[in-house]
Structure 1
């Protein structure tokens, strides 16, 4: 009897524990962070692929032919205007100069003689002591000798110029390229061999880039709607470049050219900026990332990109109402600006949009807001870009 009673009590205890274990725990309310959105002015930073170039790339060519005797500069070195670069064999041109000097002397003597003869004949002609023919011959001989002298002097000047061209100097300040003709080579004028080197003036430097015609049309559309702010003077648009090692070049540049023609082969518009390059760190032909700032989207709503959920029916966000319940909002997105996305339709401003925790909520669900803030302003270039430290003391 006692054994049966003991078994009955144990069974009741097991059933009681089982019922307690089977009870459903209370549902947890998801915790989310939100941000209040409102129309505001958002700075726009446009990114492009660019290529550096010197503001002037001068081809240094030989203007006279001959044997290239010597190169006086180090390839790739910086030179100043007037620095001696090359020497072409001057001997043939020195001989031509001396020959031209001799021609001038001969014609000078002839001219002097004809002038003296004319001076003697003219008084005699007035006294009818000589004939008209003698007078005409003297005048003709004088004019002929004068013309010959002038022609000889012109050849002498040409010989001096050609002799001067045997020394080739730098026309501008800049950096030289590799020589194209070796010492001892025969230089032929008006041919590919006349190119000796190229000098690039790279301080300041140009950064060339292009943007699509669609981007141009979008800027015009926003401007027509009154949603785009930009400086009247395009040279006020600021430009920075990011180098191949992901560092931001410290010098800032400004736009100085914007083409009015769309390239029919690429469908792009060419643009250019000028940037200081005192140490020659930026090299012609170098590819960079170009960031243009100065535009702003006005009266614009934007949300953090991580608050947007992509669905089969398009992008959505969750907004929290006054009862702390989430409501699904279908939106139409626009361009990305930094870590934010422009919302063209769906939000009017004043909504509290879920940022953290959007993936674990459903439409109509009760949520708990653990933190909130107003929308931060768009980041500026140095903050928004991955900014590896620029080595300013690097030797170039």
Structure 2
């Protein structure tokens, strides 16, 4: 060691002590990562269509419910009474219509035989028309009363997770009271993000077939849901949405995640430590051991992951790349690899 310090030329002649690694063939598929915000596939604010006292809440806040489940019940008694009255009025109108129809038949028969005037027939026809209209009005009132009674049960419009209830049992609620609660459909769930117009065109050219995405937090694979039909004039970006199954319901709306675009093209190359890469003015390079000497190689770094880089050009599998002791290494300088 002392001799190498006092006589550096002698050390160079004997060979610079270095560490090296033998590269192995690898493949790398580039991915483009985006910061995305999760959104529910559907989101509804559940409101009442009628007025009344809230009598029952069948599910707790945050519960998972299925389409058609009864979530809340409003006091049905006033609406049951209204339906009974409407149905009675309908029967009354039908009975009146039956009487008028029978009378109209008699008047028409008399008029045919000369026993009634045209005026009598006209009056009977008008009375029949009014009776038919009364039945139609009564039927509409009965249908409305029947609908109002059905609205006393507030049901889930689809499978989803409930939010917090804004009312308690016994509260008087009306259509003007606002949402009773909300429900989100998160199976599947949507991740939305923005890309520049230029990048969108580049990715579109690369992916002629179906596009797939990776949710980095969970490893879930997803597909393209939609690309917006306009560019944001303020940012020059296009909104893109990917759809993920979220079968375990672990993802929530408004959660921020990272989404990667799976690339259809793979590259051959080698992984080497980033510490072995040197930077010149116009290129990156490494030193490779060739016949006991250091050979400078210009390289193309395609990806960095942790402390390693993926090199797609400049190094072949099986070559030895110098990883340490680079301070005194120069092109064509003899080197001695430590493990040797």
Q: TM-score range by the shorter chain?
A: 0.7 to 0.9
Shift of 1:32: 4.2
Q: Does 1:318 align with 2:295?
A: no
Q: Does 1:206 align with 2:175?
A: no
Contact 1:319–1:328 (8 Å) recurs in 2: yes
2:158 aligns with 172
- Once residues 216 and 268 of structure 2 are traced to their aligned partners in structure 1, the CA distance between those partners, rounded to angstroms, is 29
Shift of 1:265: 3.2
Q: 1:314 to 1:137 in 2, by over 3 A?
A: same
Q: 2:199 aligns with which of 197, 215, 228?
A: 215
Shift of 1:337: 5.2
Contact 1:34–1:371 (8 Å) recurs in 2: no
CA displacement, residues 296-345 of structure 1 (integer Å, 9 cap, x when unaligned): 2558898754333335x2443134475554455666x67535443567xx
* TM-score (norm: length of structure 1): 0.70
2:118 aligns with 132
1:239 aligns with 214
Shift of 1:114: 1.1
CA displacement, residues 166-193 of structure 1 (integer Å, 9 cap, x when unaligned): 111222222111112333333231x4x2
Give 1 or 2 for the bigger CA radius of gyration: 1
* TM-score (norm: length of structure 2): 0.81
Shift of 1:123: 1.0
Q: 1:276 to 1:370 in 2, by over 3 A?
A: farther
Unaligned runs of 5+ in 1: 1-19, 243-248, 373-396
Q: Does 1:97 align with 2:83?
A: yes
1:60 aligns with 46
SS in 1 for 2:16: coil
Q: 1:30 aligns with which of 12, 17, 38?
A: 17
2:231 aligns with 262
Shift of 1:63: 1.4
Contact 2:43–2:182 (8 Å) recurs in 1: yes
Q: 1:194 aligns with which of 172, 178, 184?
A: 178
Unaligned runs of 5+ in 2: none
User: Root-mean-square deviation (CA), in Å?
Assistant: 3.5
Shift of 1:264: 2.7
CA displacement, residues 333-386 of structure 1 (integer Å, 9 cap, x when unaligned): 67535443567xxx66659684513742444351436499xxxxxxxxxxxxxx
- Once residues 348 and 310 of structure 1 are traced to their aligned partners in structure 2, the CA distance between those partners, rounded to angstroms, is 14
Shift of 1:199: 1.8
Q: Does 1:162 align with 2:148?
A: yes
Q: 1:350 to 1:282 in 2, by over 3 A?
A: closer
Q: 1:124 to 1:90 in 2, by over 3 A?
A: same
Q: 1:36 to 1:75 in 2, by over 3 A?
A: closer
- Once residues 292 and 371 of structure 1 are traced to their aligned partners in structure 2, the CA distance between those partners, rounded to angstroms, is 42
Q: 1:276 to 1:303 in 2, by over 3 A?
A: same
